[in-house]
């Protein structure tokens, strides 16, 4: 199961959108929809660690640490899906995000050859949605071409199979 990042606040707490993605992904995991969780988000700066926040919330909700993988270089939807395939060796993936974003994520996943399904994590109305809807139009145009040319993500990295131990992705490793 791939939970896509959606921002954290300066105090490290998740944005409402990210919290809903996490709640949805963790609930699906706990109900047996997937054996592992892949948290993909931005950890491009020392003081901004989206994926650690994501993992901490999963642990707080009873998910074993070894079942939670952190993709520290999920800087874009394309990068997250490319890395899910090539770094984490996923072939089938359930993508958890909001509905407005799900169509593009599924398009990218399928263009990369992933067997992909999507789950909408919309549980409330989000402020700033009009801006995100506009941004999504531009992102869809960009990712249409990116999905044709398939450039490497910003960072690729060593292979860490999702079938293994998520603790291999912890910061101290």
pLDDT at position 46, please?
84
Long-range contacts of 164-170 (CB under 8 A, 24+ apart): 165/66, 166/36, 166/37, 166/55, 166/65, 166/66, 166/67, 166/68, 166/69, 166/70, 167/65, 167/66, 168/69, 169/69, 169/70, 169/71, 169/72, 170/65, 170/70
Q: What's the fold here for domain 2-165?
A: Rossmann fold (3.40.50)
Instruction: Give the Cα separation of 64 and 139 in Å (integer).
Output: 34
Give the start-to-end residue ranges of the domains of the chain: 2-165
Is pLDDT above 60 for 173?
Answer: no
pTM: 0.95
Average pLDDT over every residue of 81-97: 98
pLDDT at position 171, please?
84
Q: Give the three-class secondary structure for 99.
A: helix
User: Residue 33 — very low, low, confident or very high, per pLDDT cuts 50/70/90?
Assistant: very high
């Amino acid at each position: 199961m791939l939970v896509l990042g959606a921002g954290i606040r300066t105090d490290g707490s998740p944005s409402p959108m990210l919290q809903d993605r996490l709640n949805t992904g963790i609930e699906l995991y706990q109900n047996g929809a997937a054996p592992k969780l892949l948290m993909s988000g931005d950890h491009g700066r020392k003081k901004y660690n989206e994926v650690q926040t994501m993992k901490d919330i999963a642990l707080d909700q009873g998910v074993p640490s070894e079942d939670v993988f952190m993709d520290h270089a999920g800087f874009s939807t394309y990068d997250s899906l490319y890395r899910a395939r090539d770094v984490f060796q996923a072939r089938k993936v359930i993508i958890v995000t909001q509905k407005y974003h799900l169509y593009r994520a599924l398009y990218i996943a399928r263009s990369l050859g992933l067997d992909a399904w999507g789950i909408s994590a919309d549980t409330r109305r989000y402020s700033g949605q009009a801006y995100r809807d506009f941004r999504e139009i531009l992102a869809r145009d960009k990712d249409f071409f990116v999905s044709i040319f398939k450039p490497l993500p910003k960072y690729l990295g060593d292979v860490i199979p999702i079938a293994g131990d998520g603790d291999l992705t912890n910061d101290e490793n």
